[in-house]
Amino acid sequence: MAFGLAWTCPLVSAANPVADPFPFFEGAFISSLAIQPDGELLISGSLISIDGQTALNAVRLADDGTLDPCLRVSVDGYVSVVAAQPDGRILAGGGFITRINGVPGSNLFRMNPDGSRDASFTPAVEPLDHGAVGALAVQPDGRILVGGDFQNLDGEPHANVGRLNADGSVDSTFNPSAEHGATALAVQADGRILVGGDFSRLDGEPRYGVGRLNPDGSLDGLYDPLAEPMVTVVLIQADGKALIGTGMSGLFRFENTDPQEDTLDWEGDALVWTQGNSCPAATGTVFEYSDDAENWTFLGKGAASGTGWRLEGVVMRKARRSGCAAMRRRPNQALRDGR
């Protein structure tokens, strides 16, 4: 069984890195990018004008670069981060927000796929004068990790790091603390969480800029990469190594304490992809089949199962199973199995 990873970036052409017809952002400060499961691009920041249109704080672009007229978010503060949920809803966080598209709101909110505000999602980030949200991450089970500069999350004490249930209620069982702000979050397939920020202590123990939490929020004592207390971004590579961007010394890459686990196999008529340890957690998958590893046929969307994804009822002759089955992580990773 052979595995390989194919990374794609739809925004830039290798032959001509400025050829894609994306809109012109005049005077823009872009704070966050996220790709939805359908490939559309979410952008947040201070966007003074977009192709001459009204200034906004969060927008959505189609794959061809056209501006989506439905999702146009304007706030009276700032939006520092956006995150896409598998169901198409959009999380956004920032600071000094009291109104969203003219309606009362707060520093953490959610939009529906059609661009309307999700009125059922109303967690409070406090104190109001500087309870800013700087990082968001969605776990495969739908729970939402929140990082920033705050002391209370939805009325409960949480020092700069917390977790919400999918409905927006606070997860009281998860209560680590970062000494100062948490500005980056990344989830491993085994449920452990990398946290980056401007801190020298995480959950009461010395950690300089980056550390790792267990799924229950306790500190992972084996992971102490000693970065620097000004980490701005954390990204987990497919091989489990962690890329750490800082505000002082640039970019670092750290080995993980556990090897990544990625297997794709058959269980009867089910195609099962199992993830484990340090590889990045996926929030959605599609399975595909190919005889030649070039032309792919859609089989179906995977359902979360344990530490991986499963597609039931795959009808395929045994002989064809000797071809290539494929699974894609959303939004921009692909794992292909040729047997």
Residue of 154 and 127 predicted with greater confidence: 154
**Residue indicated by tokens 């680590």:** 176
**Residue indicated by tokens 């809109």:** 23
Residue of 227 and 68 predicted with greater confidence: 68
Residue 270 corresponds to which tokens in the numbers above? 């089910």
**258 burial level (CB within 10 Å; 0-12, 13-18, 19+):** middle
pLDDT in tens, 51-107: 666 768 998 988 888 888 889 899 999 999 999 998 899 999 999 999 999 999 999
| pLDDT at residue 66 in the model | 83
H or E, element range at 162: strand 161-164
| pLDDT at residue 47 in the model | 72
Residue 12 DSSP class:
-
Question: What SS3 class is residue 243?
Answer: strand
| pLDDT at residue 296 in the model | 80
The CA-based dihedral angle spanning residues 136, 142, 143, 147, taken in that order and rounded to the nearest 10 degrees: 0
Q: What is the mean pLDDT of residues 253-281?
A: 76
pLDDT in tens, 154-207: 999 999 999 999 999 999 999 999 988 999 999 998 889 999 999 999 999 999
Residue of 320 and 180 predicted with greater confidence: 180
Angle at the Cα of 159 from the Cα atoms of 155 and 163, rounded to 5 degrees: 65
At 156, which amino acid appears? Answer: E
| pLDDT at residue 259 in the model | 64
At 279, which amino acid appears? Answer: C
The architecture of the domain spanning 261-338 is: Sandwich (2.60)
Domain spans of the chain, in order of start:
9-254, 261-338
Residue of 204 and 2 predicted with greater confidence: 204
Residue 327: is its pLDDT beyond 70?
Answer: no
| pLDDT at residue 21 in the model | 58
| pLDDT at residue 7 in the model | 28
pLDDT band at 337 (very low <50, low <70, confident <90, very high): very low
| pLDDT at residue 145 in the model | 98
The pTM of the full predicted model, rounded to 2 decimals, is 0.79
CATH superfamily of this structure's domain 9-254: TolB, C-terminal domain (2.120.10.30)
**Residue indicated by tokens 């009125």:** 119
Residue 257: is its pLDDT beyond 50?
Answer: yes
CA–CA separation, 313 and 316 (whole Å) = 9
| pLDDT at residue 294 in the model | 76
Taking each continuous run of H as one helix and of E as one strand, the counts in the chain are: 0, 34
**Greatest CA span in the chain, whole angstroms?**
64
